[in-house]
Amino acid sequence: MTQEQMPLRIEGLDEYQSKVIDRSPAWLKAFRQRAVAAFTQLGLPSVKEEEFKYTSLAELSSKRFQLPSHHKLLGDHKLHEYMDAGDINIVLVNGVIWGDLSNLKDLPKGLSIISFQEAAAHFPAEVEATVSKLSSNDPKSLLYLNHALFVDGVFVKIDDGAVIEPLVHIIHVTSAVEDNTVLFPRSLIHIGNAAQASIMESHIGFGNGPYWTNAVSDMRVGADANVQYCKVESESPQAVHTGITRIWQEKGSSLDSFTFAHRAHLVRNNLAILLKGEGANTIMNGFYALDGNQHVDNHTLLDIQQPNCTSYQLYKGILNDSSRAVFNGKIHVHPIAQKTNGYQLNKHLLLGKDARIDTKPELEIFADDVKCTHGATIGQLNDDELFYLQSRCIAKETAVQLLSRGFMEEIINTIKDAAVRGKLNRLLSVKFPEVKL
């Protein structure tokens, strides 16, 4: 470990590692051992690294973390606020599937849901081929840490040609943990060729205490498949959430993705979408609503490796009080990826006088027959629009909320799945009454 990198202190780590690693299949055991060695060498990333220039994880290094002592759900009445009866709900508590609250019986034809450990034992080649991959957008030390210490997780498999009509909702719950607990949610999703599905992945926490969630999600989208995917962060207000999502798209596939963050104290999302097949199409949108001293950092990569691909990316954020957002979005076009059409835009509405945004959209183009554009905007509410609403006897606070909702709804309404859109609107309805100047 170099002087620039930060150590991580976890109580009972050696005993925990032995227990977790020893119960893994042989290939996964070796994989975990390599991850332990890699993280030990790297340590936590510091602000001296370019990718973490605007987001400090020093508070993680200053604490002594503990691992979850149980996987039981307490206060399940709160969970039902996130669940709808018509969905296929997969509930994981502190990293382990909670079968009593998950409706995994009588699944639609072509859909299989098992634990990650079961998948590693029964489909070793398929699982290893996905989880062992890397992207240039991965914060390696955080990825290796999850590889080494996740207890279990979920494996969702959709067969070739299957059409799954209900929303598949993966709910990662942090429940009744001690302060400064660290958790490692893990999910793996395989979408077969020509399959169709809508998948939502939520990270939620009950209570207000501090903890750290370090999550990893991998998804393979088969050739000609059509998928909608949404990741939601709704952790404890004192929590830290670091998330890595990697998606590989094959030939002719279509992906409509959405990233939403609004509650944790510190959020770092790394999303990499790799277009590995010709003619793949991607929508890569996101929204964050922040107040207080919240900090959200979105690092995205769209890696276009084949010709005739199209992509559209729009990330929007509302910042109040002294909150801070970071956006670093990169589109990388390989030399072979001719006839590529890529669009990227990042827009922010600053409501708080001390709010701050650091935005860096990037294009790396190594092909000559492409159409790629990018941009960023930062602004405040229009005084004329505020005055107009107030002249119609609308209170200033209400006018601010109305205009902010208009800014928000443009991006929320891009979500095609009505069930997902409804869930996000319910979360935002709690936050927006707090919007203030």
Conformation bin of residue 207: beta by default, left when phi > 0, alpha when psi is -120 to 50:
left
d(C-alpha 266, C-alpha 32), whole Å:
27
pLDDT for 391-403, tens place per residue? 888 888 888 888 8
Reported as half-sphere exposure (CB side, CA atoms, 13 A), residue 127 has a value of: 25
Q: Supply the pTM of this predicted model.
A: 0.94
How far is Cα 165 from Cα 416, in angstroms, rounded to an integer?
13
The whole-number pLDDT of residue 376 equals: 92
pLDDT, one tens digit per residue, over 203-244 is: 999 878 899 999 999 999 999 999 999 999 999 999 999 999
- Give per-residue pLDDT as tens, 171-205: 999 987 889 999 999 999 999 999 999 999 999 99
Residue 88, classed as helix, strand or coil, is strand
End-to-end alpha carbon distance in the chain: 45
Contact 294, 322 (CB under 8 A): no
Residue 207: per-residue pLDDT: 75
> Residue 193, Cβ neighbours under 10 Å: how many?
17
Place of tokens 């092909």: 367
Tens digits of per-residue pLDDT, 313-339?
A: 999 999 999 999 999 999 999 999 999
Per-residue pLDDT reduced to its tens digit, 279-311: 999 999 999 999 999 999 999 999 999 999 999
